[in-house]
Amino acid sequence: MKLIVGLGNPGAKYARHRHNVGYLAADAIAAAHGFALWRSKFQGQIAEGRLGDERVLMLKPETYMNLSGDSVRAAMAFHKLEPADLIVIHDELDLAPGRVRVKTGGGAAGHNGLRSIAAHVGPEFTRVRVGIGHPGDKRLVSAWVLSDFAKADAEWLDPLLAALARAAPDLAAGATPRFLNALAQAAPAGEPAAAPPRERPAPPPAPGPAPEAEPARSPLQRLVDRFR
């Protein structure tokens, strides 16, 4: 069994916030694959179904973001799951809007939901990082994540959520390259949703030899130079 967690904050006023893209992804997956109706359990909303051959419990914690680990730990303890069975979908400031990366383990990078989950179950779970972009100034981050997606964002957000839902069986099966390839094929031309691995920049060219200083000339040599 897999536990797929979409992170967000509960309540209608948060529904379209950038911070709630995990909730939006969970809703899209559950709807596309005919999961059972959402119901309250484990301090959140759960829906059960199948993705391919995998039995899946979908969870949207309702503890608010910074206490997401309380809900996740309760679900994992009840079903006797390990961190390897856990997939968390969340917003990512350090990726351009619509780009997606998948990683296992690592730090929280300032994300309170990830920090809470790692504190309860350890860091070795899979994260699906959905880019929402950065406002450009760290002082604006809180207002950025806790505000609605712009209307123009629907041009990439809606197709991305649909593609993510279609490819979810590959995600549940651990077929990460196939999952990311499906997202890349669904992205607008020139804007791949699945971000390629970062390449290390080439080192700068080595500086050439410093020019040699001209040897000093004696007063007699300088006098001769004047009459040449």
* Catalytic residue flag (residue 33): no
Position 53 in a domain: yes
The one catalytic residue in 17, 19, 33, 111 is 19
What helix, strand, coil percent values describe the chain, rounded to 5? 40, 20, 40
Position 180 in a domain: yes
Give the number of domains in the chain. Answer: 1
Range of the domain at 169: 2-186
Q: What is the pLDDT of residue 185?
A: 83
Phi-psi group of 170: left, alpha or beta (phi > 0 → left; psi -120 to 50 → alpha; rest → beta): alpha
Position 61 in a domain: yes
Token pair belonging to 178: 């196939």
Position 213 in a domain: no
**To 5 degrees, how large is the angle CA 51–CA 54–CA 56?**
70
Q: What is the CATH number for 117? A: 3.40.50.1470
pLDDT tens digits for the chain (228 residues)?
999 999 999 999 999 999 999 999 999 999 999 999 999 999 999 999 999 999 999 999 999 999 999 999 999 999 999 999 999 999 999 999 999 999 999 999 889 999 999 999 999 999 999 999 999 999 999 999 999 999 999 999 999 999 999 999 999 999 999 999 999 887 655 455 665 444 444 444 444 444 444 445 555 555 545 545
Q: Classify 57 as helix, strand or coil.
A: strand
Position 97 in a domain: yes
Taking the C-alpha atoms of residue 173 and residue 2, their distance in angstroms, rounded to an integer, is: 9
Position 107 in a domain: yes
Position 92 in a domain: yes
Position 203 in a domain: no
The per-type count for the chain, helices as H runs and strands as E runs, is: 7, 7
